[in-house]
Amino acid sequence: MSGRLAHKKILLGITGSIAAYKSCELLRMMQREGAEVRVVMTQSAQKFITPLTLETLSGNEVVKEMFPSNRVIKTRHVSLAEWADTLFICPASANLIGKVASGIADDFLSTVIMASRRPVIFAPAMDYEMVQNPIYLDNIEKLKRFGYHFIDPQEGHLASGAKGPGRLADFFTLFENLNLILNKTNSLAGKRILISAGPTQEDLDPIRFFTNRSSGKMGYALATAACLRGADVTLVSGPVNLEVPIGVRLYSVRTAIEMRDAIFAAWPQNDVLIMAAAVADFRPREYCNNKIKKSQFDAQLALAQNPDILQELTLKESSGYKVGFALETDNTKANALKKMNQKKLDMICLNDPSEKGAGFQGDTNRITIFTADDQKHQLPLLSKADTAEEIWNVIETYL
C-alpha cells in the first residue's frame, strides 16, 4: 500500500455541524492516501448525514451508540481508542469541544476521546459568533495545554448566510495537518534547509516573458518531506500553482536574478541547500517598457546570460551541504557528474524528462543520485513525494 497515510489507522469522529457533509470526501481522500478509516458519529451528526453513507464508504460499521440495544460490546471505546493511530474529529462542534474540555464522556465519541492516548485532532466548524465565544476560546486553550491538536476554521461564507470565521478548514489544510501530525519525525530536527523550486520568468516586455515547464512539484515535495522530519524549511519559489506546505517559510520570486538574491540572503542561516528550481539560463537582453508591436519585431532577439546561482554560491560559500539537480536528455550520467564537479556540489539528482513519468509537471519522477564521494543510488519510478523521502534518506546519512 502506498500514499502518505499508508498503514495509518484513523478514527474519524463526526459531530453535528453542516460541514458533516464534507466528511465523506475527506474519508475518501484519506483512503486514497492509504489510510484505514473507521467512523464514529454523534446523534446530532446523524441529523446531517446518514451512517449508511459513511458505512458504505468506509466498509466498516459506523459506531453510533455507547450501549446499542441489540447487543453488548463490552469495552469497544477502549479497543477502538487503542486501534487508532489518531482520532480526527472533523467537523468538531462547540458542544463536543466543550464536553471534552470539561471531562464529560456521555456518548461514544466523547468517551473514546477520553480513553485515547493517541493524538486527537479537532477541526472545528461553526458559526462566526460561536467561534468567537470566550467560553469556546477558553475550552480550546485548555485542550491545547493538554496536548490536543486543532486545525483552525477559516473565513468564508457560512451556512447562516453570514461571512466570517468558522468554516471548516479546506481539504488541503486538513490533509497537510493530518499528515504532519501523523508522520512527523525528528530526524532533521535542528537542521535549517533552503530549497528552490519552480521555474523563473524572464520578462521581454510588460506582456511577454520566457519561462519553462517546471511546476514546482519536485521542490515542494522536498520541502514537505523535510518539514515532516522536523527541519526548519525555507522555500524560494518561482511562480507555481501549488499550496505552500504547512510550516514552510516561503519567498516568492519571478526572475533568476530575484531567485539569486533570495537564495544568497537566506543561505547564511541554513545548513543544506537543494536547488530543484529550473532557473532560466538566459533572459532577454533588453526589457522593453512598452508592448513590442508586431511591426517592431525584426526576428532577432538578443539574450543575456543569467547568473548560475548554484555555481556562484558554491564559489563564495564553502560551508554546508549543497545538492543540485541535473535535467539531462543525452549523455545523462556524464553531464550530471560534470555539473556536480563544476558546481562543487555534494550531491546531484539526475532526471531525464524524455523518460516516461520523469521530470517536469507530473506527479512522479525517476531520479539517480550521485554523490561527491562516488556513491550512486538509482531510484525507481516513484511519486514525487516518495522520491523526496528517498533523497532525504540519502542526504541524512551525510549530515
| 277 contacts 214 by C-beta, under 8 angstroms | yes
Give the length of the chain. Answer: 399
Binding site for ligand PMT (CB under 6 A): 214-218, 256, 275-279, 281, 306, 308-310, 324-327, 339, 351, 359-361
| 260 contacts 211 by C-beta, under 8 angstroms | no
Is 290 in the active site? no
Nearer to ligand PMT, 94 or 276 (CB): 276
Q: What is the CA radius of gyration of the chain?
A: 25
Kindly state the smallest distance separating residue 350's Cβ from ligand PMT, in Å: 8
Joined together, the cell numbers standing for residue 317 give: 560559500
Distance CA 23, CA 14 (A): 7
Nearer to ligand PMT, 107 or 352 (CB): 352
Which SS3 state, helix, strand or coil, does residue 41 take?
A: strand
Of the residues 133, 212, 335, 393, only one is catalytic, namely: 212
Kindly state the smallest distance separating residue 276's Cβ from ligand PMT, in Å: 5
Nearer to ligand PMT, 125 or 309 (CB): 309
Kindly state the smallest distance separating residue 108's Cβ from ligand PMT, in Å: 44
Distance CA 183, CA 7 (A): 11
| 112 contacts 38 by C-beta, under 8 angstroms | no
Kindly state the smallest distance separating residue 284's Cβ from ligand PMT, in Å: 15
Cα-based angle 316, 321, 325 (whole degrees, multiple of 5)? 90
For residue 292, list its beta bridge partners: none
List alpha helices for the chain, DSSP H: 23-32, 45-48, 51-58, 76-83, 94-101, 108-115, 128-131, 134-145, 171-183, 217-228, 256-266, 309-316, 332-342, 384-396
| 197 contacts 325 by C-beta, under 8 angstroms | no
Kindly state the smallest distance separating residue 343's Cβ from ligand PMT, in Å: 6
Catalytic residues, by residue number, are: 212
